[in-house]
Chains A and B, each alone.
Chain A
Amino acid sequence: MDTCQYGGGEIDFGLSEEQKVLRHSIRDFAEKEIRPRAQELDEKEEFSIELTKKMAGLGLFGIFVPEEYGGSGMGYLSYIIAVEELARIDGSQAATVAAGNSLGTGPIYYYGGEDQKKEWLPRLCSGEILASFGLTEPDAGSDAGASKTTAELKAGEWVINGSKIFITNSTSEMAAVCTVQCITGKRPDGKKEISCILVPNGTPGFEAKKMTGKMMWRASDTGELYFDNCRVPEENLIGSRGEGFHQMLETLDNGRLAIAAMGLGGAQGAFELALRYSREREQFGAKICTFQANAFKLADMATSIEAARNLLYKACRLKDAGQPFSKEAAMSKLYCSETMGRVVDEAVQIFGGYGLMREYDIERFYRDYKLLTIGEGTSEVQRIVISRLLGCYDE
């Protein structure tokens, strides 16, 4: 790969030795193990247990969880670098890892009780099982507070009714548990009391159905969940009653960093494909990268990728330092995903007619990008979050 100028020294400024070794290792793995399979899995819309287990073997499902629970105890920036490197090769596999850490493991690790952590985290970190995060509902997407799924406490059990949609890592044979956001009652101020409850896959009354026909992330597992008088023990509540909305908001803050990493890595991968192709393809008797129209496209791509990387790494460093990072996380998610949009558009343009064909990886990047401006808060929602934090709507 001709990645020296952009994949070598410059990328790594200020990174620790741990982070550099990590980047090289994941890059190597992604190129040798994921790249040869990505196209076929996308075509067949197949979630690969084998590849997921291989990623688990590297420790990719317990990145920021401490060693005592079976994780690696790395910082968020390390996590983000790992996702970036996976996304540089394939969005679907990056999605499985990003959702596995941010949405699957995250809520249990950050808000779960000691027993819950001990029960779930070691198997999640080792990649024996996967967890999912059930927030979105058919009538509650951007407006997550409008969710209707209810959980009623009856004789020491939560009785759950409702449904969730678009839930990542929720239906494969590895999917073992879902953190479900439910309405558990009314608060004193009359608003809904929202709580998160752990519901193991296979519990009677819980059906997880694989969704097919996706345009993007075709090799990742997305499901629709139905709860019909599904009963789980009272102690499956995560944290205390009424903390669910707050837990969800924080989980999304963290998750945004991983979606941003997918935008950054995807942009980097698409850019490298375009750079390489333009150096090989000849028209009018010259390499097409020597036409200024194309050279300027490549210059713009490289520039916006550098800017995106700086923004995202800064947000991660804020989080790792324990400082507020919500605004920077939303900015990173917005900017990195939109950067990837511009980059894949121009990259396909550089490929000409070939860029429209399945046979060329760039075609998959072009499709995979589109989730990034929609999932875990659309670009519009990111702008709402940012402008709110800027004080635009303060009285």
Chain B
Amino acid sequence: MKIIVLLKRVPDSETKILINQEGTGIREDGVKFIINTYDEYAIEEGLLMKEKAGGDSKVTVVCMGSDEATEVIRTALAMGADDAVHIADATLSNPGPFTTASIMAKVIGDEGFDIIFCGKQAIDDDMAQVHCILAEMLDIPQVSVATAFELSDDAAKATVSRRIEGGDEKVETSLPVIVSCDKGLNDPRYASLPGIMKAKKKEIKKKSLADLGFSEVPGGGRSRVLKWLPLPKGGECRIVEAEETPDAVRELVRLLREEAKVI
């Protein structure tokens, strides 16, 4: 069984994000980067499926990102993935989801696959689109926000649970398939020390857009990020208190009219 796991390097959710002066990205100095949290579930599920399927099963990590992303790729390899493709190209800054999916589709098509696992969304831009577009481009079924995954004994089908409002939805899908993973799917393992040493010898194939046969950034004209802006500073909060609620409402209306001048 050939399993692909999509991986993204993102700033730690606890890191304070500062936008650069031009508004084209974040200030990276002093920022801690991690594997996108949901991608950890994808890696773990890939490894579990590999262990279950046995034989010459293989987990290949596909990551698009700057040179520094080798660290998160190496972490996935240390957890147990077999090899990786790292797409790094200086012309790729802030690629939109269509661009990312176009490039990933090419890589994955070249690699071949039975299952693709990825996170349900990246915790930095929260687009949650790449896997949907990818499913369309590869013309395969897609199951999103998985909280349980079970492969049939003949490895031709899978049953996937999705947590929905008030219950679980069970979906049956044929393979090949792309599954986006949610918290609760599994407990991602930690990279062990022997795993870290083994990962040093595993192959990371580094590819530029030209290596993949693109003469320009694919899908570049569809949508692009214009600018990143910091959140407006939150205004001051005032609590209107009175013994009786109607009095408080009256006072609130007065303030909105006379002080804030919004009504």
Contacts and interface: CB of A to CB of B under 8 A. Distances in A.
A59 B191 CA distance: 10
A267 to B, nearest CB: 19
B190 A9 contact: no
B96 to A, nearest CB: 27
A18 B194 contact: no
Interface in A16-40: 17-18, 20-22, 24-26, 28-29
B15 A8 contact: yes
A16 to B, nearest CB: 9
B193 A74 contact: yes
A20 B75 CA distance: 9
Interface in B1-44: 12, 14-16, 29-34
Given A10-B30, A25-B78, A57 B71 contact: no
A72 B75 CA distance: 16
A17 B71 contact: yes
B250 interface: no
A59 B30 contact: no
B58 interface: no
B161 interface: no
Interface string A24-68: 111011000000000000000000000000000111101100010
Q: Which of B16, B33, B194, B199 has the most CB of A within 10 A?
A: B194
Interface in B40-94: 70-71, 74-75, 78
A4 B15 CA distance: 5
Contacts of B192: 25, 57-59
Nearest to A28: B190
Given A3-B14, A59-B193, A74-B193, A21 B199 contact: yes
Nearest to A62: B193
Give chain A's interface secondary structure class.
helix
Contacts of B71: 17, 20-21
Contact of B75 (A3, A21, A62): A21
Nearest to A54: B190
B257 interface: no
Contacts of A78: 193
A22 B190 CA distance: 10
Q: Which of A22, A73, A78 has the most CB of B within 10 A?
A: A22
Interface in A88-141: none
Nearest to A22: B196
Contacts of B78: 21, 25
B197 interface: yes
Given A9-B30, A25-B190, A25-B191, A18 B15 contact: no
A7 interface: yes
Contact of A18 (B14, B33, B196): B196
B29 A72 contact: no
A251 to B, nearest CB: 22
B200 interface: yes
A197 B92 CA distance: 62
A1 interface: yes
A18 B193 CA distance: 9
Contacts of B74: 17-18, 21
A25 B16 contact: no
A59 B194 CA distance: 6
B70 A9 contact: no
A337 B153 CA distance: 57
Nearest to B32: A8
Interface string A267-283: 00000000000000000
Nearest to B29: A9
Contact of A72 (B16, B32, B33, B196): B196
Given A18-B200, A24-B191, A29-B190, 16 more contacts: A2-B16, A4-B16, A4-B31, A7-B32, A8-B15, A17-B200, A18-B197, A21-B191, A22-B191, A24-B34, A25-B75, A28-B190, A58-B192, A58-B193, A60-B193, A72-B196
Interface of B: 12, 14-16, 29-34, 70-71, 74-75, 78, 190-197, 199-200
Interface of A: 1-5, 7-10, 17-18, 20-22, 24-26, 28-29, 57-60, 62-63, 67, 72-74, 78, 82
The 9 closest A-B pairs by CB, nearest first: A59-B193, A8-B32, A72-B193, A25-B191, A4-B15, A59-B192, A58-B192, A29-B190, A59-B194
